[in-house]
Amino acid sequence: MTTLDSALSIFPFGRIRRHHGIEHATLQVLAGRFPNRNLAGYSDAEGFWVVGDVPTEELASAVNQAIARLQAGEKSLAVHPHCGTNFVASGMVAGLLAWLAMLPSRGRKRSERLPLVVALVTLGTIFSQPLGPWLQARVTTSPDVGTLHAHQITRYVGSNVPLHRVLLKS
């Protein structure tokens, strides 16, 4: 086990990573069932939230299927193409390159560096695309769900967007 793996397994990080993996797998199962439905999720130490209109029974079925598929070795389900980690990774690379381009430079005004900033940010965004999934697979999610299962699923309808709270237990 690497130092990073050891650090990430400390409570609550290990638990959140497993919940995040189940959240992603659940959203991918639901995307297969409802391909044109907009759904989002957010994980925490108790489970995860699903934002969007989905029947509670379908969500429960998707959670169970997602866990079973992760336990069967479908680790790729824990990495989601629309995870915020992807956006943060690209934003960090682009922001760092923009900052570097704007550092004081002999003889060049800041306004003259704008084309360089745009070029570096564009290249950084393009070349950082693999970074988000890599970070998901190694840092922000875990496909190793062990004996976790959905303990309780509650639907909340208080606004235009329905919410579900999925509590997980071992």
Which residues form the domain of 27? 3-82+141-169
Same domain, 95 and 67: no
Terminal C-alpha separation, the chain = 23
Helices (H) and strands (E) in the chain, counts: 6, 4
Helix 56-71 with 13-33: angle, nearest 10 deg: 120
Same domain, 32 and 66: yes
From residue 14, give the alpha-carbon distance in Å to each of 18, 73, 86, 120, 150.
6, 18, 20, 35, 17
- pLDDT grade, residue 130 (50/70/90)? very high
What pLDDT score was predicted for residue 149? 96
Residue 156 and residue 54: Cα distance in Å, rounded?
11
Same domain, 66 and 145: yes
pLDDT at 44 over 60: yes
Same domain, 163 and 115: no
> What's the average model confidence in pLDDT over 14-31?
97
Same domain, 22 and 51: yes
Residue of 74 and 107 predicted with greater confidence: 74
CATH of the domain at 15: 3.30.980
